[in-house]
Amino acid sequence: MLSTFRLAAAWAPAEYDKVMTDPAFERIAAAGPSALLLLCDHAANALPAAYGRLGLTRELFDTHIAYDIGAAHVTRALAEAYGAAAVLGRWSRLLIDLNRGPDDPTLVMKLSDGSIIPGNASVDAAEMARRIALFHAPYHDAIATEIDRILNLGRDRRGPILISMHSFTPAWKGKPRPWEVGVLWDRDGRLAGPLMVRLREAGFVVGDNEPYHDALENDGLNRHGTKRGLAHVLIEMRQDLIGDEKTAREFAMRLKPVLDAALDDMER
């Protein structure tokens, strides 16, 4: 294996071929006619073997800089409960951020929460293009394919409804974050509005575009939701509430009736 400090531009052909055959995403097939499509951009903390650990210690891959802790478990539980399709990223956000547009300067992070990423420090245009082609583009192509599949079913007049699952740290730079759930949205509030109302009714502490704002040009939901005129929302969950598979699944079951009510409200 290459040193974690060397770029993939120096890969031997066999190493390149191995990455080419590794899937860039996990796809959960729909088990029914659901119009929902669940997304989880930062589902995993793994890296393709050819990238080693990007020069980082193993312990950092268990932290939020590598993935959205708990988000994948919630996504899979909701996909199972709804019989809905889901697309989840297979590799760490440290390799490439699937929630960024291909022209975003933060697509490959060189510094994250104070940690320098040595394996990203010298990424040039060729390596950036390679990561986009191998990991970013296939993920977004899979999302587009699922959207087209749901559209072709034509069983729900609302069309595909995109729900992107993320998680956030309980504190940032020493300051506690009070929200249990954040609802991120930009111009389309068809689902975000009723969802915030229903979450508050269910007793959740809710942030409206907190702790982030979903207004990044060409990010995942802008690309697949806003630009295609599809209802969508990004749900941020505080990581201490979904830190392991058991609590994440329990959280998903608390969230489902809230989502049900908000989806019903979209019909009114």
pLDDT tens-digit readout, 44-89: 999 998 899 999 999 999 999 999 999 999 999 999 999 999 999 9
Residue 163 in domain: yes
Residue 148: inside a domain, yes or no? yes
In a domain, residue 246? The reply is: yes
| Interacting residues of 242 by C-beta distance below 8 A, sequence separation 6+ | 69, 70, 71, 73, 74, 167, 248, 251
Residue 247: which domain range?
Answer: 8-265
Instruction: pLDDT band for 1, please (50, 70, 90 cuts).
Output: very low
Q: Please state, rounded to an integer, the average pLDDT across all residues of the chain.
A: 90
- In terms of average pLDDT, the best of 15-24, 73-82, 165-174 is 73-82
> Does the residue 186 lie in any domain?
yes
Establish if 108 belongs to a structural domain: yes
| pLDDT > 70 fraction of the chain, expressed in percent and rounded | 90
Instruction: Provide the pLDDT for residue 77.
Output: 98
Q: Which residues contact 168 (CB under 8 A, 6 or more apart)?
A: 64, 68, 177, 182, 211, 212, 236, 237, 238, 239
Question: Average of pLDDT values for 33-39?
Answer: 95
CATH number where 154 lies: 3.40.630.40
- 219, two tokens: 């990010």
Q: Give residue 174's pLDDT.
A: 85
pLDDT band at residue 17 under the 50/70/90 scheme:
low
pLDDT-derived band at 30, boundaries 50, 70, 90: very high
Q: Name beta bridge partners: 238.
A: 168
Residue 6 clears pLDDT 70, i.e. is over it: no
Task: Give the per-residue pLDDT at 15.
Answer: 55
pLDDT 10s digits, 72-84: 999 999 999 999 9
What is the model's pLDDT at position 35?
Answer: 94
Q: What average pLDDT score do residues 126-147 get?
A: 96
Residue 261 domain flag: yes
Q: State the Cα–Cα distance between residues 40 and 143, nearest whole angstrom.
A: 11
Contact 94, 54 (CB under 8 A): yes
Give the mean model confidence (pLDDT) for residues 155-178.
90
Residue 229 within a domain: yes
Instruction: pLDDT band for 18, please (50, 70, 90 cuts).
Output: low
Tally of domains in the chain: 1
pTM of the entire predicted model: 0.91
Question: Does residue 52 form part of some domain?
Answer: yes
Calculate the dihedral angle through the C-alpha atoms of 73, 79, 80, 81, rounding to the nearest 10 degrees: 110
